[in-house]
Amino acid sequence: MLTAPPTARSREIADRVEAFVRERVIPYERDGRLGPHGPSAELVAELRALAREAGVLTPHILSDGAHLSQLETAAVLKRSGLSPLGPVAVNTMAPDEGNMYLLGKVATPAQKTRYLDQLVAGEARSAFFMTEPAEDGGAGSDPGMLRTTARRDGDAWIIDGDKTFITGAVGAKVGIVMARTDDGDKPRATMFLAALPDPGIEIVRVLDTIDSSMPGGHARVAIRGLRVASDAVLGEVHGGFEYAQIRLSPARLSHCMRWLGLAVRAQEIAVDYASKRHAFGKRLIDHEGVGFMLADNAIDLQQAALMIDWCAGVLDQGDLGTTESSMTKVAVSDALFRVADRCVQVMGGSGVSRDSIVEQLFREVRAFRIYDGPTEVHKWSLAKKIKRAALGGSYRV
């Protein structure tokens, strides 16, 4: 355990989640229903049925609908991530976890009944339609480049545009669509809820990507004449960019939590391998070149855990945490990639074989250094803030 759960209730939940993932979920990691675009719908349903039976489904949301604090959530999600299937099984996986958080904060009571309840119950998956194709000049790391549009049509809205890298779009029942609703004066966006599937949203193709843990994969989507009623607006008209910030920091941080769990597992596997494997007259771990890599991993893992908890504490104080989550995302994703790379190196041929979960961690964390904002974009944003503070005479470390 890298950091102790902050409360008695989170300790109890986290311990139950860890036991469930280690005992019930890990045996599924070689299941034939796992493909290049994530686990099948049948496998997701089977795993969630087991989690429901064990009382660990959607463990970060309590029976009365209350959400654990971010610090408590960190304790639970780290444990759920001990297997790439863990978050899928217990319903803490992206994008559903972030979408549940946003709906809990912004949705109306009627919208929560229609959309949120089925997500919390683990009966549906969701997708967040924001990223757009680069070749069309659409929004990626810069949401101000959003090209998808929504126009009023009586008491409804008509949405048109193209989206890409939409995680979980295949098989999703709940969609949150970001579209421009300004009149050309300055970019403004609105979020719309959509029950899926809908003939106005076409899955063009599922992209072949380096990662493979998220159900439905990442899809290219064409939105043509998607018609939604006025009560499908999430929050206020033109409030999309502001609501994206509400979702962004916690969702970015929960990625760090989940992948930390898998990195901890990879370290366990690599340590076990190095402690049992002999070469050149002694155990691998007794060779400094190997032992030092595992020591560096232990340091990186502890630092990553502390960064996550620090950022979670900032969010729990009511701050949006944009600066802190950017710092944490950069530090943790880069640290976990170093951990994954060292684990692969320690295990040699076994480390690059898909017989080991270490190989999958390497692929997943490499993708994470891009998803939710590339490292360079976060550093650029941080540098701009540093410059503003320095020129204003208020910069302090």
Banded model confidence at residue 342, pLDDT cuts 50, 70, 90: very high
* pLDDT at residue 1 tops 70: no
Distance CA 344, CA 350 (A): 8
Does the pLDDT at position 368 exceed 80? yes
pLDDT tens by residue, 145-158: 899 999 999 999 99
Residue identified by tokens 């998220």 is 214
**How far apart are alpha carbons 293 and 276 in whole angstroms?**
16
Q: What is the mean pLDDT of the chain?
A: 95
Q: State the Cα–Cα distance between residues 296 and 70, nearest whole angstrom.
A: 27
**Segment 259-286 mean pLDDT:** 97
Instruction: Give the per-residue pLDDT at 372.
Output: 87
Q: Rounded to an integer, what distance in angstroms lies between the CA atom of residue 186 and that of residue 181? A: 10
Please tell me the predicted confidence (pLDDT) of residue 136: 81
On the question of pLDDT at 173 being above 90, the answer is yes
Residues 79-100, mean pLDDT to the nearest whole number: 97
Mean pLDDT of the 379-384 span? 94
Report pLDDT digits (tens) over 95-123.
Answer: 999 999 999 999 999 999 999 999 999 99
Q: How far is the C-alpha of 78 from the C-alpha of 138, rounded, in Å?
A: 34
- What single DSSP character describes residue 21? I
Cβ(159)–Cβ(177) below 8 Å: yes
What the chain holds in terms of domains, given with CATH numbers, is 8-93 (1.10.540.10), 126-237 (2.40.110.10), 241-391 (1.20.140.10)
Question: Nearest Cα to 88, choosing from 30, 41, 23?
Answer: 41
pLDDT mean over 64-93: 97
E-assigned strand segments in the chain: 34-35, 38-39, 126-129, 149-153, 156-167, 174-180, 189-195, 201-207, 218-229, 233-234, 278-279, 282-283
Q: Quick one: which H or E segment has residue 260?
A: helix 240-276
Count of C-beta atoms within a 10 Å radius of residue 32: 7
In this prediction, residue 21 carries a pLDDT of 98
| pLDDT at 375 (0 to 100) | 93
Q: Does pLDDT of 3 surpass 90?
A: no
Average pLDDT over residues 84-100: 97
- 229 pLDDT band, cuts 50/70/90, is very high
- Is the pLDDT score of 130 beyond 90? yes
